Structure 1
Amino acid sequence: MDVGERRSVIEERVIREGEVQFGTLAAELEVSAMTIRRDIEALEQAGVVRRITGGAIAVGGGAAFEPSYGSRAGRATGSKKVIGARIASLLSPGEVVLLDSGSTVAAVAEALRGRALGLTVVTPSIKVATILADEPDTTVVLAGGLVRPGELSLIGPDAERLVSQYNCETYVAGVAGVDSLRGLTEYHPEEAAVKRAAVEGARRVIVGADSAKLGRVHLVTIAPLDAVDVLVTDAEPDHEVLLHAQSTGTEVVPVRSTTPR
């Protein structure tokens, strides 16, 4: 587990439980108490937690807590880069592609630069649109709607209508969790509504998910697992979620993570 991933785990844990202890986290994450203290200090500077004697408490939040984009983007960066490159290789020249919001799909957009695929990219992500805005032979259609600060994604009825009206061959989805029972899940209800509209309108659904997302369930279900045509992941092939996905007809594409462990 790299630094970004460890801090994301701590961030979610402290918000979910309200309070954590340095010693408990150190034992569970198999690092020193000093390392945990440094992690907590960084999260405190980000305004997520407040240190107390022997541990830390949450600053706001609750059961539906969504970690900051910066926290999520800093987690498993090596894995996301490899996943992004593999997904980019699955896209065909001239496709109409819907690229989702989120840090994993942003890695897909980065991987598309220089490939000269001549794509038409529909996206609810300002980040994705910015990455591909000056890419030669690429047409970028940015959804309208309300801007989510930090995420820089577009949500609301206008965004849902736009992603529904384009006939996209492929939807590259960014999700918070992938579970055998609950399927694809997301933190934010309006974000999930845009993703749901995209799943319903696309001919092919590709999900990129690093191993930490497998078996995770968040506030809102986007779609069942069998709605996914291709799942690209760095998880071990015998992971329960992957075996279930394959049993329902999903193609699982494994990649080798480059994230330091």
Structure 2
Amino acid sequence: MRDDLSFLDGSLPAPLRQDRIVSIVEGAPGLVRTASLAAALGTSEVTVRQDLALLDQEARIRRVRGGAVRRGAGSPERPFEETAVEHQVAKAAIGRAAAAMVRSGECVVLDVGTTPAAVASALVAREDLTDLTVVTNSLTTALALEPAVPRFTVVVTGGTLRPLQHSLVAPFLGAVLPMIAADVVFLGGTGLDVEHGLTNVNLPETEAKRMLADAARRTVVVADGSKFGRAHLGVVRPLEDIDVVVTAEVTADAVAPIRAAGVRVIVADEDGGAAPDGRKSHA
């Protein structure tokens, strides 16, 4: 009878345990956290991490920060935790340059995604900023902003939770945004090109991004160079409705057509940051 209870006491043989991990991850819509797997398997998080490393090497699942996701998913959308570890230096530079465009007393809207999250961290680091209101539909971004309260007022839009990006989308997203007249919105996306402007792989989040942009007077796109020249399913904003693009780790050839279309482009790891009005800082 003890053998029948082996799953409960954590003594499931490693091959069977790993097969079960694959089954759980394959059946999940997005990220499966290490702690959840450990609880489901009745084993330690250390053991699960070792299993995930092996399964990733065998290309049976994809290991990401905090857990695992399935391989070969039908949608090209990737979990927040997976993209968070990519282009980290570029995103930090973009965050600092974007945060330099913000003044005390303003109302800022922050989109979902790892690059807007970098903007949030850079805003928190600016100890000179006071009386700032930040509106976001990202639970991750809201938590990143929490250390700046009460210097900042952080408003979470509400809406329906999407676990893949920890984002809030319609329905109910639109209840708060029509009541807000923000100074600037910082938008992320998965593609930026001349023909389509800013695009995104996911339609519910595309709709949410449009609503965020409609709540602000100025639109600033924050995107590293890997997004340039790409177009995806949902059109968020055409180039004519984008005021500034803040980027990094990008080639001159990629930037040239965006600038030729009349959009100001700040290359954060080249321009040395931006002044509050978005112009290059010479300080």
Q: Into which bin does the TM-score normalised by the smaller protein fall?
A: 0.7 to 0.9
Q: Residues 213-228 of structure 1 correspond to what in structure 2 (within 5 A)?
A: 213-228=227-242
Aligned residues: 209
Largest Rg, 1 or 2: 2
Over 3 Å counting, the alpha-carbon distance change for 1:39 and 1:253 in structure 2 is farther
Task: Find 2:83's aligned residue among 72, 76, 80.
Answer: 72
Q: 1:85 aligns with which of 63, 88, 96?
A: 96
2:133 aligned with 1:120, yes or no?
Answer: yes
Amino acid at match of 2:236: I
Relative to structure 1, is the Cα distance of residues 109 and 239 closer, same or farther in structure 2, using a 3 angstrom cutoff? same
Deviation at 1:39, TM superposition (A): 9.0
Distance 2:79 2:112 in 1: 14
Determine if the alignment matches structure 1 residue 129 to structure 2 residue 142.
yes
Aligned-CA RMSD value: 2.1
* Whole-angstrom distance in 2 between the partners of 1:161 and 1:109: 23
1:200 counterpart residue number: 214
CA distance in 2, matches of 1:156, 1:248: 32
Query: What pairs with 1:1-261 in structure 2 (closer than 5 Å)?
Result: 38=57, 40=59, 43=62, 46-49=68-71, 58=72, 61-62=73-74, 64-116=75-127, 117-118=129-130, 119-135=132-148, 136-236=150-250, 238-240=252-254, 242-256=255-269
Contact 2:193 2:258 in 1 (8 A): no
Q: Give every structure 1 segment of 4 or more consecutive aligned residues whose post-TM-superposition deviation is greater than 3 Å.
A: 37-42
Q: In the aligned structure 2, how far is the partner of 1:132 from the partner of 1:236? A: 28
SS of equivalent residue, structure 1 residue 98 = strand
* Structure 1 gap segments, 5+ residues each: 1-36, 50-57
Distance 1:97 1:196 in 2: 15
Inter-CA distance 101–43: structure 2 relative to 1 (3 Å threshold): same
Q: Contact 2:124–2:147 (CA<8 Å) still a contact in 1?
A: no
Cα displacement string for residues 52-101 of structure 1 (whole angstroms, at most 9, x for unaligned residues): xxxxxx2xx32x42112111111101110111111011111111000111
* Amino acid of the structure 2 residue aligned with 1:189: L
TM-score by length of 1: 0.74
Alpha-carbon spacing, 1:41–1:193, altered in 2? closer, same or farther (3 Å): same
Q: Aligned partners of 1:95 and 1:124: how far apart in 2?
A: 18
Structure 2 segments unaligned to the other structure (5+ residues): 1-55, 271-283
Give the direction of change, closer, same or farther, for the CA distance of 1:207–1:101 in structure 2 (3 Å limit): same
SS of 2:209's partner is helix
Percentage identity across paired residues of the two chains: 33
Q: Is the 8 A contact 1:109 1:128 kept in 2?
A: yes
TM-score, normalising length: structure 2: 0.68
